[in-house]
Chains A and B, each alone.
Chain A
C-alpha cells in the first residue's frame, strides 16, 4: 500500500486552464503539506494543514487554493494556469510537527504549454 499517493502523476495543459491535484495518506498523520519543486530541483513549501486547519500559507499566488476535506486528504486546485506554474508538486505528511519525518508522495509533474 502506498503511504502518500498523488494523482495524477502527469498533467499537461494549456495556459489559462484550471487543474487539480489530489493527495491521500494512509499513515494516520495529522499534518499534510504541498511542496513545489522547480526545474532546478529547488523545493519550496507552499501550504500545510494540521487536522484540516491551514497552518502554513507561504507567499503563493491566490490562484493556488488548497483544500483538506479530512486529515487524510489534501488537494491543490490551480486556477488560470501560467507557464511559470510548470513544476513537480509534492504532497507530504508527518505525524506531528516538522521535527518528525516527512513522508513524500511520488510527485505530480505539471507542464503548462
Chain B
C-alpha cells in the first residue's frame, strides 16, 4: 500500500520568503509522486510530478521538489513566496502500476505582506 504524510497542516510565510512544504511517502514499489495546488473554490491543479527521471523536479509558478529515496521524502520549495501562492497544497503518490492516486491531508499556505 502507498501513502503520503504531509508535515504541518498550516504554513505561514512572509512575502519574498522561502516556502518549504514537507511530504514523506510510503510505497512498496517505486512511486510516482505529485504536488497539486488548490486555490479557493477551485479544483486541484498539478504543480509538478516525479516519475523516476531526474530527482530534482521543476514545476509551474517557480516551485520545485526533490525526490530523496533515502529519506522517503518529496519536499516542495519555492525560493520567494508571492501573495498569489496562498492556497492548499497536496502531496500525492501512485504506484507505478496502479490507477489510484492517494493524497496527503494537505497544507494550507498563507502569505503575509
Task: Tell me, yes or no, whether B17 is within 8 Å of chain A by CB.
Answer: no
Q: A98 contacts B46, CB within 8 Å?
A: no
**Do A104 and B45 contact each other (CB < 8 Å), given the known contacts A42-B105, A43-B90?**
yes
CB distance from A77 to the nearest CB of B (A): 21
CB distance from B110 to the nearest CB of A (A): 14
Which range contains the number of A residues in contact with the other chain?
20 to 34
Q: A97 contacts B98, CB within 8 Å?
A: yes
**Do A102 and B44 contact each other (CB < 8 Å), given the known contacts A40-B105, A41-B105, A41-B106?**
yes
Partner of B43, one of A44, A48, A106: A106
Q: A99 contacts B103, CB within 8 Å?
A: no
0/1 string, B69-113, CB within 8 A of A gives 1: 000000000000000000010100010111111110110100000
Task: Tell me, yes or no, whether A90 is within 8 Å of chain B by CB.
Answer: yes
Name the interface residues of A79-113: CB closer than 8 Å to any CB of B: 90, 92, 97-99, 101-102, 104-107
Which residues of A sit under 8 angstroms from B32, Cβ to Cβ? Answer: 98-99
0/1 string, A22-42, CB within 8 A of B gives 1: 000000000100000000111
Chain A: CB-nearest residue to B88: A41
Task: Tell me, yes or no, whether B61 is within 8 Å of chain A by CB.
Answer: no
Which residues of A sit under 8 angstroms from B101, Cβ to Cβ? Answer: 45, 98, 102
**Do A105 and B43 contact each other (CB < 8 Å), given the known contacts A41-B88, A98-B98, A98-B99?**
yes
**Do A42 and B43 contact each other (CB < 8 Å), given the known contacts A48-B99, A97-B98, A98-B94?**
no
New A-B contacts (11) at CB < 8 Å, excluding given A101-B46, A102-B36: A41-B106, A42-B105, A43-B106, A44-B103, A48-B100, A55-B99, A92-B43, A97-B99, A98-B32, A98-B101, A99-B51
24 A-B pairs in the complex with CB atoms less than 8 angstroms apart: A40-B105, A41-B88, A41-B105, A41-B108, A42-B103, A42-B105, A42-B106, A43-B90, A43-B103, A48-B99, A92-B44, A97-B94, A97-B99, A98-B32, A98-B94, A98-B98, A98-B100, A99-B32, A99-B96, A102-B36, A102-B44, A102-B46, A106-B43, A107-B41
> Which residues in A have some Cβ–Cβ distance to B below 8 Å?
4, 31, 40-45, 48, 50, 55-56, 90, 92, 97-99, 101-102, 104-107
